[in-house]
Amino acid sequence: MPGADWKSEEAYPDAKKAEAEDIAWEWLRRNCEYQRDYMALAASKRSGAMAHQFRRQWGLSFRS
């Protein structure tokens, strides 16, 4: 929700129904370092090793 006032309960009416993954994503997408790293990855040729490192660094790899 770009531009939403994160301190306003009205901006997030379903927050009480949020799962851990939803909260984690909201935190991650606002993180300046994550944004910088994502932009660098997107601008690269997306080598498999670079994408793997990105996922590992940011906790985006999950056990199956």
7-16: per-residue pLDDT in tens?
A: 777 777 777 8
Residue type, 22: D
Alpha helices in 1-64 (DSSP H): 20-29, 32-43, 48-57
Residue 9 inside a domain? The answer is no
Q: At 46, is the pLDDT very low, low, confident or very high (cuts 50, 70, 90)?
A: low
Residues 10-36: what's their mean pLDDT? 86
Domain that holds residue 30: 19-64
Total number of domains constituting the chain: 1
Average pLDDT over residues 33-56: 87
Average pLDDT value over all residues in the chain: 82
**CA 61 → CA 5, 55, 58, distances in Å?**
30, 6, 8
Residue 29 lies in a domain: yes
